[in-house]
Structure 1
Amino acid sequence: MQPRLNIALVGNPNSGKSSLFNVLTGLNQKVGNFPGVTVDKKTGFCRIDEKLAATIIDLPGTYSLYPKSADEFVTYDILLNPDNRDKPDIVVIIADASNLKRNLLFCSQIIDLKIPVVIALSMMDLAKKQGVEIDVPGLERELGVPVVPINPRKNRGIAGLKKAVALTAAGQYQVPARDFIENTALAPATIADIRKFIPHESSYAALHIATHAEDLSFLDPGQRLAVKQILEEHRFNKTKAQGEEVIQRYARIKHIMNATVAEKDPLQKSLITEKIDNILLHRFWGYVIMLAVLFLIFQSIFWLAQYPMDAIDGGFSALSGWLGHTLPDNKLTDLLVNGLLAGIGGIAVFIPQIMILFGLITILEDTGYMARISFLTDRLMRQVGLNGKSVMPLISGVACAVPAIMSARSIENRKERFITIMVTPLMSCSARLPIYTIMIALVIPDKTMLGLFSLKGLVMMGLYLLGFVMAVLIAAVMRLLVRIREKSYFIMELPVYRAPRWKNVGVTMIQKARIFVTDAGKVIIVISLILWFLAAHGPAREMEQVQQQYTELMQSHPGERQELSNALQAARLEHSYAGHLGKAFEPLIRPLGFDWKIGIALITSFAAREVFVGTMATLYSVGNDVDEDAATLREKMEAARRPDGSPVYDLPTGLSLIIFYAFAMQCMSTLAVVKRETKSWKVPALQFAYMFVLAYVGSLLTYFIFS
C-alpha cells in the first residue's frame, strides 16, 4: 500500500488557502467538525505524484501562533500537539506575496516548531500590480525552506508545489537546524526545565507550552502542575517574552525583506489609499457615503431586476395558462399546474434579485470598501457592548444568517460573541427579500421622492436599516443582562483599494443563485406539493356539500356561471385541510390584519422564510377566486378580497406582514446552527421566543398605527 502523508494548509485569513485546497483536492473533499469543537474541518485527498498520496487538511486561518479565538486554537493544537490524529507530516504555508511582511511572522513561527515546511507564495499577480518584486530563490535561502510561487485560481505553480512537497517528504529538504531567532534566549531556564518534563524537538514549542499550559489539551494534570511550578520558580513573564519574540522576529523579517523584496513607489500607493480614506472614512461624509452606497444597492434591486422578474413571472403565467387549456382537466393536471409549476415559479422569479444583491456585495468586498464599513461602525458597536468584529457577521447576515453566525467564531470576547449570535438573525437576509419585494410591490405606491428617489427603493432600504437598528437596540439590552466581563480590542487591517475581479463577481452571482434554487427551492417545492394536496382535498362530507350547493346554484343561475365557478373554488379551498389549518390559526393573527391564508403561509414558512411566496402561489392557484386575467401571483394577491369587499392586502396589512417577517425567527437552519455553535438548545429557544414576541408586538403596533 502506498504511503499517505498528512499535509496541513495554514495561513493568514484571505491568503488564498481555500482556493489552493479546492485545486489540490477537487471533488475529493468532505466537511466535518474537529473533535470536541464546532469548528469546520475540511479534508480532502490529493495525488502528489505516482508514488505519493496525501490527505490535505485545511486549517482555520490565523495571523500568528498566539491564538485568541476557537478557530485559531484548533490550528494551534494541531501544530503543537504530538498526539493529535491530524498532526501534519508537512505544513504548506500560504503566504500573501502582496503583504509579505505580515505573513512572514506566522511563517517564521511555524518554521521554529521544527515541522517540515513548504511556503506557497500566493497573490503574486497582485504583488506585481503593486510594484512588488520578490527574489524567490533569495527568500528561500534566507528562510531555509522551499518557496514556490502559485496562483490557484489559474492553476499555476501547482506542479511545482507538489514537487517541493515530494522532495520534502523524501528528505531532500531538511528542517532548518538553526532557529529563525534565538528562542532559547527569551527564557533560557524556563525552556530548559520544561523540555526535561515534556520532551520536544523545538525550544520554541517549549516556550508556547509555558505561555499556554492551561489551554493545551495534550498536557495531563501532572504536566500542567509541573509547568506551573517551573513558571513560578523562574518568575516567567509571558507578556514580556511574547513581546520580545515579536520584536526580534520583525527585526529579522525586515532584514529579509530588504534583501529579497523590492517595492516601486510604496509611498505613492499609500498616499492614494490615504487620500481616498480621507473622504470615505470622514467623520461626517463617511457615513453619508456609506448610506448612499447602501441606498444604491437597494434601489438597484428594483431598477435592474424589474424587467427579468416581469419576464420570468409572465413566462410562468403563460405556461400555466397554456398547460391548463391543453392538458385534460384532471387531478394530475391540477398537481402539475397549481402545485409543481406554481412552486417553481415562486422560486425562479426572485433569482434576478438574489444575483444582483450578492453581485453588489461581492463588489464591495473586492474593492476593500466592506472593511471600511466595519471601521465606520465600530464606534457605534462599542456603545452597545459589541465591537467592529461584530459588524462582519451582521453584514454577512444580509446574505444569510447561517454562515454569518458561524463567522462570529472570530470574536474572542465570549459576551460579544454571544450577543452577536443572538442579534444577527434580525438582519434582513436574502430569504426575506422575496417577501419584501412582493409586499412592497402590492402596497407601496409607485412614486418618486424629489423626482429622483423611488419610494419603493426607500422602503426597501428602510427595512434593511430597521433590521440593523433593532439588532443594535437588542444588543444594548443584552449588554446589561449578560454578566460576562472581558476586555476586547478591535484591530483590523484596511486593505488597499483595488478594482473588483469581475469574474469572481460573476461566479459568486451564479453560485448564490444555484444555492437559492437548490437549497431553498427543494424546501419550497416539497411544501408547495404538500400544500397543493392539503388545499385540493378536505373532509369528504364537507367537500361534497360545497360541490352540491354550488352545482345547484349554477343550474338555477346559468348567467352567473363564471362568478359562481370562482366562488366554488374559493369555498373548496376554505373547507379543505389547508383551510381548516388556517382557520384554527386565524384567531391568533386576526389582530395583526392577517386572514387564514396568510396564517397558512406563516406556518409553512417557519421551515424557511422564502416558502411564504411559494405557499401564496399555491393557495392562490388552487383557490383562484379572481378573474382569469389576473395571471401573475402579484395580480392574484392584488385582486384578493375580504368578505366585506375590501382588499386583503391593503397598506396596514401589507406593512404589518412585512414587519412580522422582518423580526420573526422563521428559519430552522439558523436555529440548528445556533445550537451547534453554543452547544445548547436553551440559546436558540430563547432566540426564537424573543424574536417571535418582537415580531408579534411590532406587527400589531404597525397595523394599529396605519389602520
Structure 2
Amino acid sequence: MVLIIIHSTLFIFTLKTSPVIALIGNPNAGKSSLFNQLTGLRQKTGNFPGVTVDKKSGTWPIDAQTVATIVDFPGIYSIYPKSLDEQIVTDILANPAHPDYPDVSIVVVDAANLHRNLLLFTQVADLGGPVILALNMLDVARQQAKEINAVRLAMRLGVPVVRINARTGEGLDLLKKAVLGQLEEPTLPGKLFFDPAEEIPELIEETKVQYQLETNYLALQYLIQHDGFSFLNRSQQVGLDTLIHNYQFNEQTFQAGETITRYKRIATIAAEVVTNQRAANQPTWSQKLDRYLLHPVWGYAIFGFILLLIFQAIFAWAQPFMDGIDSGVAWLNGQLKESLPPGPLTDLLTDGILAGIGGILVFIPQIAFLFLLVALLEESGYMSRVMVIMDRIMRKFGLNGRSVVPLISGVACAVPAIMATRSIGTRRDRLITILVTPLMSCSARLPIYTILIALVVPSRRILGLFNLQGLALMALYLLGLVSALVAAYILKLFLRTQERGYFIMELPTFKLPRWNHVGLTVWESVRSFVWEAGRVILAISIVLWVLASYGPGDSMDRAEARAKQQHAALATDQLQNIIASDRLEASYAGQFGHFIEPAIRPLGYDWKIGIALLSSFAAREVFVGTMSTIYSIGSGADDSDITIRERLRQEKNPITGGPMYTPALAWSLLIFYVFAMMCMSTLAATQRETKSWKWPTVQLVYMMALAYGSAFITYQLLH
C-alpha cells in the first residue's frame, strides 16, 4: 500500500503484485509460439535468478485489472532433468519461495502426441498448484486422423482443458478465462496421478513432516532430486540422505517404476478421449518427406542445396538495398560537410561517428535476409531435420549430437550458442562444444566477408544461376564448420572421459511459416545486432577519431608541411588526399599502427589494417566501421561522397604502387577472420559457462594462432 499526501489530502493506492504464469511443455509442443502470441512485443530476455540459464518473460494483459507476467520455461520431457536448463524447471516448481514460482502453470501439449505429452502434465499437476492444460496442434492431430474430446479429457484430468492454436492465436480468449478462474478459485485434481505414499508411506510422511511439504509427490522429489535442488542447504541435503539410507530407498528403481505406472494410467485416459481413424501403417505427409530429408545421401544433398540458395540470396536480394544505404550514407556525409561549419565537431560527426556507424548500417539487408531465411527453416520444421542428419557427422568427431544445436546457433551469434550447450549432458562434450563453437562464422563476420568478397570476387554467374560471390561466402561458412569439426576431433584426444553422450530429438511436423513470428524474429535479431554493435562502434569511432586526428607534439603539422613541399606540383585534390593520408600516418593511431606493422606485415597487412584489427578485438564487426573511419579521415575533402567500398578499391600500396586490396590480401584477411577469436563477449560467455579463465585463455590462444598461421599461408601462396 502506498500513501501520498498532497495539500493535506490523503490518497491511498493498493498495488497488486502481478501474477506469474508459467508456460511448461515438451520441446516442439508450441510453447514458444504461445508465448509470442500472449506477449507480442512485450518481451524481455535475461537469466533466471542465481543461474546463467536463459529466461524469456513478458507481460500479458489478461483483463483491465490483471496484467500477468508470463515466463517461458525451457522445454522438458519430464521433471527429472538431464541437463542444466531442464534442472531449472524442477528447481522452480519445487520451491514456492522462488521469485518465478508460478501462480498458475499452463502445460502446453501436442495433441498429435497426447500420450507422451501427458507424462509431463501429470508430474506438474502432482507437484501441487493450479494447472491448465492447453491442447495445442489440434490441426496436426486432424491431419493424422485423430480427434480429441477436450471435455472428456478435462473431466478425467480434473483441471481446465483449453483447445488452442498457438500459431494463429485461436482459443486465447478461452485461455484467459481459464487463467482468471484458476487465479480466483483454483481447481486441482481430486487425487494424485501417481501417489508415492501407496508404496512408501512411512518415508513420504516423515519427509513431509520434517520439511513441511504439502504434497506426497513433492516429498518424493525432495528424496530423488535433493542433490540438484539449489534452494536446499547442505544440512537439509544431509538429512534427506539420512532418510534415504534409513529406509533403504533406491531412487533410480523407484523413478523407473513411477514412469511405467504413469504411462499405464495415461494409456487408459488416452483410450477414452482420443479417436484415431488412420490405419496404423499409413504414413503422414511429413513422414513421406522425411524419407528424403533424412536419407543418408539425399538428406545431405538437399541440405547443401538449401545452403547454397541461402548464400546466393544473401548477395542477390540484399545488393540493391546495400547500394542504396551505402550511397545514402556517403551523400549525407558530403551534405553535412558542406552545410556545417568546418571544425573538429564537424569532422567528428562525419569522419568519426557517421563513417563508423555507416559501415555497419550498410550490412543490415544481408543480416536481415540471413535471419529471415533461417527463421523460415526453423518455423517450417526443417531445422530439426538438419540437426538429426548432422548428428551422424558430429559423433565421428567426438561431439555429442546435442552439439548440433549450439553449432547451428553459432551462425547467428556465438554467445547464445555457447549458452545453449547447457543441454549437453556430459561435461567433456559440453566443454569441447564451447571451445569450437566460435569457429562457426557468426553474423558479426558477415560485414567483413561481404565487403572483401565484393572487392576480389567478380559478380559473375555460373550456369546462369549461381553467383560467384555467393559461392565464396558459402565456402567461408563451410570452412568454419570443417575447422570446428577438426578442432573438436583434436580436443577429444586430450580430454578423455568415460561418460557417454546421447542425442534425443523429436521431429515436429512440417508447417507453413507464421509470418508475424518470422517478422518478429528478424526484427529482434536486426535490432539486437544494430544496437549491440552500434554502441561499441560509436564508442570506438569517437576514440579512434581522436587518436587519428591528433598526434604527439607538432608531428601532424610537420607531416603536412613535408607533403606540401614534396608534392607542390600536384593538383589541389590530389595534394589534399596526400596531406590527409600523411597527417593520419603521423597521428597517434598511425604511430600505433606502425608499431604493430612488423608483426602483421607477413600477412600482407599495413598499419591501417593493423588499427582495424586491434579495434575489432572489442567485436569483429567493428573492423568495417574502423576501416570506414580510417579511410574517411585519410581522404581529402573532395572524396566525402565516395562509398567505403570505392575507398578500398582506390587504396594504393605505398610499396608497389598497385592496388592495396589484391586477391592475396583480401583472402588473407578473410581466412584470418574465419578463425580469429576477436570477440570479448564470447570469451566472457566461455568464462561464465566453464567457471574458469583457463578455457577462455585456451580458446583465445589456439584460435588466434590458427588465424595467424592460416592467413600467413594464404597470403604467401597467393602473393
Same fold (TM over 0.5): yes
Matched, 1:647 2:656: no
How far apart are residue 622 of structure 1 and its match? Answer: 1.3
Does the residue aligned with 2:483 lie in a helix, a strand or coil?
helix
How far apart are residue 323 of structure 1 and its match? Answer: 3.9
Mapping for residues 361-440 of structure 1, pairs under 5 Å: 361-440=374-453
Structure 2 distance, partners of 1:26, 1:656, is 44
Cα displacement string for residues 501-549 of structure 1 (whole angstroms, at most 9, x for unaligned residues): 2332233223322222222122223322332232222234112212223
Which piece of structure 1 moves more, 563-572 or 91-100? 91-100
How far apart are residue 174 of structure 1 and its match? Answer: 3.7
Which piece of structure 1 moves more, 255-264 or 689-698? 255-264
Which piece of structure 1 moves more, 536-545 or 266-275? 266-275
Matched, 1:112 2:126: yes
* Conserved? CA contact 1:626–1:636, under 8 Å: no
Counterpart position of 1:91:
105
Counterpart position of 1:685:
697
Matched, 1:576 2:587: yes
Mapping for residues 520-531 of structure 1, pairs under 5 Å: 520-531=533-544
How far apart are residue 353 of structure 1 and its match? Answer: 0.5
TM-score by length of 2: 0.90
How far apart are residue 26 of structure 1 and its match? Answer: 7.0
Structure 2 gap segments, 5+ residues each: 1-13
1:646 aligned partner, one-letter code: G
Structure 2 distance, partners of 1:583, 1:267, is 74
Mapping for residues 478-497 of structure 1, pairs under 5 Å: 478-497=491-510
* Conserved? CA contact 1:630–1:636, under 8 Å: no
Does the residue aligned with 1:120 lie in a helix, a strand or coil?
strand
Counterpart position of 2:574:
563
Decide which of 659, 663, 670 is 2:671's aligned counterpart. 659
Does the residue aligned with 2:283 lie in a helix, a strand or coil?
helix
Which piece of structure 1 moves more, 158-167 or 653-662? 158-167
How far apart are residue 599 of structure 1 and its match? Answer: 0.4
* Conserved? CA contact 1:626–1:639, under 8 Å: no
Counterpart position of 2:89:
75
How far apart are residue 615 of structure 1 and its match? Answer: 0.8
Structure 2 distance, partners of 1:412, 1:8, is 25
Structure 2 distance, partners of 1:653, 1:626, is 28
Over 3 Å counting, the alpha-carbon distance change for 1:199 and 1:514 in structure 2 is closer
Decide which of 346, 349, 352 is 2:365's aligned counterpart. 352
Cα displacement string for residues 372-430 of structure 1 (whole angstroms, at most 9, x for unaligned residues): 11111112211222122100110010011111111111111111111111111110001
* Conserved? CA contact 1:415–1:485, under 8 Å: no
Does the residue aligned with 1:68 lie in a helix, a strand or coil?
coil
Does the residue aligned with 1:239 lie in a helix, a strand or coil?
helix
Structure 2 distance, partners of 1:700, 1:186, is 69
Cα displacement string for residues 418-477 of structure 1 (whole angstroms, at most 9, x for unaligned residues): 111111111000100010111111122444445643332222111111111111111112
Counterpart position of 1:139:
153
Cα displacement string for residues 258-313 of structure 1 (whole angstroms, at most 9, x for unaligned residues): 32234554768834222211211111221122111111111211121122212222
Mapping for residues 150-161 of structure 1, pairs under 5 Å: 150-151=164-165, 157-161=171-175
Does the residue aligned with 2:296 lie in a helix, a strand or coil?
coil
Mapping for residues 297-316 of structure 1, pairs under 5 Å: 297-316=310-329
2:620 aligned partner, one-letter code: R
Matched, 1:514 2:527: yes
2:409 aligned partner, one-letter code: S
1:135 aligned partner, one-letter code: N
Which piece of structure 1 moves more, 400-409 or 126-135? 126-135
Counterpart position of 1:595:
606
Over 3 Å counting, the alpha-carbon distance change for 1:44 and 1:289 in structure 2 is closer
Does the residue aligned with 1:432 lie in a helix, a strand or coil?
helix
Structure 2 distance, partners of 1:180, 1:263, is 24
Does the residue aligned with 2:81 lie in a helix, a strand or coil?
coil
Counterpart position of 1:340:
353
Counterpart position of 1:253:
266
How far apart are residue 164 of structure 1 and its match? Answer: 2.9
* Conserved? CA contact 1:194–1:206, under 8 Å: yes
1:458 aligned partner, one-letter code: L
Counterpart position of 2:6:
none
Structure 1 gap segments, 5+ residues each: none
Structure 2 distance, partners of 1:120, 1:506, is 25
Structure 2 distance, partners of 1:446, 1:47, is 51
Structure 1 distance, partners of 2:290, 2:27, is 23
Structure 2 distance, partners of 1:372, 1:523, is 37
Does the residue aligned with 2:107 lie in a helix, a strand or coil?
strand
How far apart are residue 193 of structure 1 and its match? Answer: 5.5
Which piece of structure 1 moves more, 494-503 or 202-211? 202-211
Over 3 Å counting, the alpha-carbon distance change for 1:242 and 1:549 in structure 2 is same
Which piece of structure 1 moves more, 361-370 or 423-432? 361-370
* Residue correspondences, number: 704
2:603 aligned partner, one-letter code: L
How far apart are residue 241 of structure 1 and its match? Answer: 2.6
Over 3 Å counting, the alpha-carbon distance change for 1:444 and 1:21 in structure 2 is closer
1:279 aligned partner, one-letter code: Y
Structure 1 distance, partners of 2:398, 2:595, is 42
Over 3 Å counting, the alpha-carbon distance change for 1:630 and 1:28 in structure 2 is closer
Structure 2 distance, partners of 1:28, 1:499, is 25
Matched, 1:623 2:634: yes
* Conserved? CA contact 1:187–1:241, under 8 Å: no
Matched, 1:586 2:608: no
Mapping for residues 19-98 of structure 1, pairs under 5 Å: 20-21=34-35, 31-42=45-56, 56-81=70-95, 84=98, 86-98=100-112
Counterpart position of 1:101:
115
How far apart are residue 18 of structure 1 and its match? Answer: 4.4
Q: What's the C-alpha RMSD, in Å, of the aligned pairs?
A: 3.0
Over 3 Å counting, the alpha-carbon distance change for 1:339 and 1:225 in structure 2 is closer
Structure 2 distance, partners of 1:28, 1:634, is 39
* Conserved? CA contact 1:122–1:150, under 8 Å: yes
Does the residue aligned with 2:554 lie in a helix, a strand or coil?
helix
Mapping for residues 236-247 of structure 1, pairs under 5 Å: 236-247=249-260
Which piece of structure 1 moves more, 323-332 or 72-81? 323-332
Matched, 1:503 2:523: no
* Conserved? CA contact 2:195–2:217, under 8 Å: no
Matched, 1:668 2:680: yes
Does the residue aligned with 2:571 lie in a helix, a strand or coil?
helix
Mapping for residues 158-307 of structure 1, pairs under 5 Å: 158-171=172-185, 173-185=186-198, 187=200, 190-191=203-204, 194-195=207-208, 197-198=210-211, 200-219=213-232, 224-225=237-238, 227-228=240-241, 230-232=243-245, 235-263=248-276, 265=278, 270-307=283-320
* Conserved? CA contact 1:2–1:51, under 8 Å: no
Structure 2 distance, partners of 1:300, 1:29, is 30
Structure 1 distance, partners of 2:107, 2:275, is 22
* Conserved? CA contact 1:525–1:614, under 8 Å: no
* Conserved? CA contact 1:626–1:640, under 8 Å: no
Does the residue aligned with 2:305 lie in a helix, a strand or coil?
helix
* Conserved? CA contact 1:625–1:640, under 8 Å: no
* Conserved? CA contact 1:89–1:116, under 8 Å: yes
How far apart are residue 91 of structure 1 and its match? Answer: 2.6
TM-score by length of 1: 0.91
* Conserved? CA contact 1:121–1:149, under 8 Å: yes
Cα displacement string for residues 604-625 of structure 1 (whole angstroms, at most 9, x for unaligned residues): 1111111111111111111127
Cα displacement string for residues 128-168 of structure 1 (whole angstroms, at most 9, x for unaligned residues): 56655432222111101122334566655445434433433
Identity of aligned residues (%): 50
Which piece of structure 1 moves more, 208-217 or 609-618? 208-217
Which piece of structure 1 moves more, 304-313 or 179-188? 179-188
How far apart are residue 231 of structure 1 and its match? Answer: 4.2
Which piece of structure 1 moves more, 420-429 or 374-383? 374-383
Which piece of structure 1 moves more, 669-678 or 490-499? 669-678
Cα displacement string for residues 162-188 of structure 1 (whole angstroms, at most 9, x for unaligned residues): 4433433444x4422322145444555
How far apart are residue 356 of structure 1 and its match? Answer: 0.9
